[in-house]
Amino acid sequence: MKSDRPHILLINPWIHDFAAYDFWAKPMGLLSLASILRCHGFKISYIDCLDRFHPQASPTDPYARFGKGPYLKTRITKPSGLADIPRHFSRYGIRKTWFKKDLLSIERPDLVLMTSMMTYWYPGVKETIAVVREIFPDVTIILGGIYASLCYEHAISHSGADRVETGIGEEYILERVGENTGVTVSPEFDPADLDTYPYPAFELQNKTPYIPLLTSKGCPFFCKYCASHFLNPKRMLRSPESLVEEIKYWHERFDVEDFVFYDDALLVDIEKRAIPMFEGIINSNLNIRFHTPNAVHIRGISRLTAQLMYRAGFETLRLGLETAAFDTREELDTKVTEEEFKRALTCLKSAGFHQKKIGVYLLVGLPEQDMASIENSINIVRQNNVTPVMAYYTPIPHTTLWPKAVASSRYDLESDPIFTNNAILPCQKKPFSWETISRLKHLTGS
């Protein structure tokens, strides 16, 4: 018998791309909404189209590579505008037959909520919605997330969703669900206070090899290539104590040993935030590891910071350098000087971090960026005995650099988000070349 409580289905969609890898990627926002809805009495179902541990998939060790790993992929036709790119194109995630079976196995939902990530992944969102329509033709589908927010008009026209939402979902989710189910509830948390939020429902996953963490939302920096201020205009902070309690919760109840910081600015205001958190982790005597794929702020690394991070169990360190052209870097951001970069490396190595654990992000494919400047940045990083990590530039609407990207691209970026795919180096005037990619990989030693 159908429950009187509205049933909400939340879906993480497929990725369509030339390449994709689970580099500690989870739909944290969507699972936060799932937790909020469940805490307010709604019945929840969750399907992750990117699930590497689907019951029908070949068994793999979820703890290998600290939880990272390749997605299952299925070769599909390239989008028409990218037919000339000499790379294979794939759907990343579970088989379509598995997805349909999963949809048919659950009670008919009263509402479907779907997230979206990279703007150029929208074809995967569109296909996911089409399959849901096939199984539940009369159920309302609401689309949110990054693509929905950055490319709102495009999402309305092309995604197939009944409604597209922008902004921070936690602030309006209960209202939207009430509008679509007729069941209205008052929030039992404060949307303006991150410490009152329930933990994201990571336990809904088939496996939980790692847990993403956010110590804050929003970013105090104004990097010209980043859309953080558009997506999260308000700076919101969690208390160090609440972070330590969440880490202990996942470790003690689910045996999680790997934690991944998603923060844009983990080491900002370090005396009040990161240092008390690191000290709390150390004092808890937990055998755990931390990873920073979103990069840490170099200016926040001191001798004390480095020592605390080492003792707390930081395993994978990524530093957000972006470029070693320090004399012209104000064109991108003002996050770090050459002296601060070198000082940070000295502190990290002195604390005990092996140089192979320290990766330094360098942006590649920026508008008007020449190969010589990229090679110079790579060489400077290698001369400091740490690993350069190429971060291919994605042109993003609503960023300061967007107009220059549009002007410099060989594609009409404004016509279709598909052309912003960083895998094709869209702001390089010359056609895509494997030779260029191979040359850069050789220089970085990867």
Residue 24 counted as domain residue: yes
Q: Do 166 and 313 belong to one domain?
A: no
**Total number of domains in the chain:** 2
Within its chain, how far is the Cα of 277 from the centroid?
Answer: 22
Residue 120 counted as domain residue: yes
Residue 77 counted as domain residue: yes
Residue 254 counted as domain residue: yes
Residue 66 counted as domain residue: yes
Q: Do 340 and 423 belong to one domain?
A: yes
E strands along 84-161, which residues? 89-92, 111-114, 141-143
Report which residue type is found at 48: D
Give the single-character DSSP code of 14: P
The pTM assigned to this predicted structure is: 0.95
Q: Do 302 and 424 belong to one domain?
A: yes
Q: Provide the domain limits for residue 142.
A: 7-181
The residue written with tokens 């939207």 in the block is 176
Give the single-character DSSP code of 293: T
Query: Bridge partners of 363?
Result: 391
Q: Do 134 and 263 belong to one domain?
A: no
Q: Do 156 and 266 belong to one domain?
A: no
Q: Residue 42 is part of a domain; what is its CATH number?
A: 3.40.50.280
DSSP state string for 365-404: S-TT--HHHHHHHHHHHHHTTSEEEEEE----TTSTTHHH
| Cα dist from 134 to 5, 130, 139, 198, whole Å | 24, 6, 10, 33
Q: Are the beta carbons of 277 and 240 closer than 8 angstroms?
A: yes
Q: Do 18 and 140 belong to one domain?
A: yes
Residue 202 counted as domain residue: no
* Adjacency order of strands within the sheet including 111-114: 43-48, 7-12, 111-114, 141-143, 163-164
Q: Do 27 and 135 belong to one domain?
A: yes
Of 217, 312, 232, 302, the closest CA to residue 265 belongs to 217
Q: Residue 268 is part of a domain; what is its CATH number?
A: 3.20.20.70
- Per-residue pLDDT tens digits of the chain, which is 446 residues long: 345 789 999 999 999 999 999 999 999 999 999 999 999 999 999 999 999 999 999 999 999 999 999 999 999 999 989 998 999 999 999 999 999 999 999 999 999 999 999 999 999 999 999 999 999 999 999 999 999 999 999 999 999 999 999 999 999 999 999 999 999 999 999 999 999 999 999 999 999 999 999 999 999 888 899 999 999 999 999 999 999 999 999 999 999 999 999 998 899 999 999 999 999 999 999 999 999 999 999 999 999 999 999 999 999 999 999 988 877 766 677 678 899 999 999 999 999 999 989 999 999 999 989 888 899 999 999 999 999 999 999 999 999 999 999 999 999 999 999 999 999 999 988 877 788 888 888 888 77
Within its chain, how far is the Cα of 24 from the centroid?
Answer: 8
Q: Do 269 and 349 belong to one domain?
A: yes
Q: Do 295 and 348 belong to one domain?
A: yes
Q: Do 76 and 29 belong to one domain?
A: yes
Residue 200 counted as domain residue: no
DSSP state string for 230-266: HH--S-EE--HHHHHHHHHHHHHHH---EEEE--S-T
Q: Do 257 and 296 belong to one domain?
A: yes
Residue 2 counted as domain residue: no
Q: Are the beta carbons of 184 and 41 closer than 8 angstroms?
A: no
